[in-house]
């Protein structure tokens, strides 16, 4: 399936699930690939029951909804919650990953290249590969959005960073072990950033009064 057509199809499916009160369902014949073998089988039906909105716990949290393995490696979807006045990651770009955001609650501020855009609840934002970007919540209310990832299991990167590289698991903040694992993950997932990315992140945080 062409990249453009799949972005549209998968985005519409996720929008249906996010905006409906009964969760997300997809029929196996809706999207399929050409070819033979397990990796090219039509996707099976999935039903993801609705859950309470994700709590950012004063910072940022993620919750995976659709795993890449559920869609033959084509697509995954992760819910992200960001507390008020919280900065996102350092500016970065992806070699191969396209991201599509649907804002569910609040207002997302997004850096794209050198431009800052804002997306209100109900709005969409496409972040194509190879464009520097980051996001933050500059408002006094929680931000919650669905990020959709195409042709890469990026939920695995996020789950590793958020929930596995912790002091309790032998990765103290600032440790060599944690930095080496971050480097390995960045290489595996084609995550790139400039040498001054953290300085740029701090400049954004200072400008908007973020933590």
The C-alpha atoms of residue 60 and residue 72 are separated, in whole angstroms, by 29
Calculate what percentage of the chain has a pLDDT beyond 70: 80
| In a domain? residue 46 | no
Each residue of 14-29: pLDDT tens digit?
544 444 443 443 333 3
The tally of domains found in the chain comes to 1
Report strand pairing: 86-87 vs 93-94.
Answer: unpaired
- The CATH number of the domain holding residue 104 is 2.60.120.10
Write down the pLDDT at residue 147. Answer: 97
Q: Name residues whose C-beta falls within 8 Å of residue 30's C-beta, 6 or more positions apart in sequence.
A: 9, 13, 43
Each residue of 74-131: pLDDT tens digit?
899 999 999 999 999 999 999 999 999 999 999 999 999 999 999 999 999 999 999 9
The C-alpha atoms of residue 69 and residue 193 are separated, in whole angstroms, by 27
pTM of full prediction above 0.75: yes
Q: What's the domain range around 203?
A: 53-208
| In a domain? residue 172 | yes
Q: Identify whether the C-beta of residue 135 lies closer than 8 Å to the C-beta of residue 100.
A: no
Each residue of 14-71: pLDDT tens digit?
544 444 443 443 333 333 344 444 555 677 788 899 999 999 999 999 999 999 999 9
Write down the pLDDT at residue 25. Answer: 39
Helix or strand (DSSP H, E) at 64? strand 60-66
Q: Identify whether the C-beta of residue 103 lies closer than 8 Å to the C-beta of residue 145.
A: yes
| In a domain? residue 136 | yes
Q: How confident is the model at residue 151 (pLDDT cuts 50, 70, 90)?
A: confident
The C-alpha atoms of residue 124 and residue 175 are separated, in whole angstroms, by 37
| In a domain? residue 204 | yes
In terms of Cα–Cα distance, which of 12, 9, 4, 27 is closest to 124?
A: 12
Write down the pLDDT at residue 34. Answer: 44
Q: Identify whether the C-beta of residue 24 lies closer than 8 Å to the C-beta of residue 13.
A: yes
What is the DSSP secondary structure assignment for residue 55, as one 8-state letter?
P
């Amino acid at each position: 399936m062409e990249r453009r057509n799949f972005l549209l199809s998968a985005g519409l499916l996720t929008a249906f699930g996010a905006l409906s009160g009964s969760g997300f369902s997809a029929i196996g014949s809706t999207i399929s690939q050409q070819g033979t073998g397990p990796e090219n089988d039509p996707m099976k039906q999935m039903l993801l029951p609705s859950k309470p909105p994700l709590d950012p716990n004063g910072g940022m949290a993620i919750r995976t909804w659709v795993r890449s393995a559920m869609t033959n490696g084509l697509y995954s979807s992760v819910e992200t919650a960001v507390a008020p006045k919280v900065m996102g990651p350092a500016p970065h770009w992806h070699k191969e990953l396209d991201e599509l955001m649907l804002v569910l609650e609040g207002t997302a501020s997004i850096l794209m290249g050198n431009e800052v855009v804002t997306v209100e609840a109900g709005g969409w934002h496409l972040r194509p590969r190879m464009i520097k970007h980051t996001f933050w919540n500059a408002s006094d209310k929680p931000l919650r959005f669905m990020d959709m990832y195409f042709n890469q299991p990026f939920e695995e990167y996020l789950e590793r960073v958020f929930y596995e590289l912790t002091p309790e698991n032998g990765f103290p903040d600032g440790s060599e072990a944690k930095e080496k694992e971050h480097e390995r993950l960045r290489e595996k997932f084609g995550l790139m950033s400039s040498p001054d990315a953290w300085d740029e992140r701090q400049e954004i945080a200072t400008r908007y009064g973020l933590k």
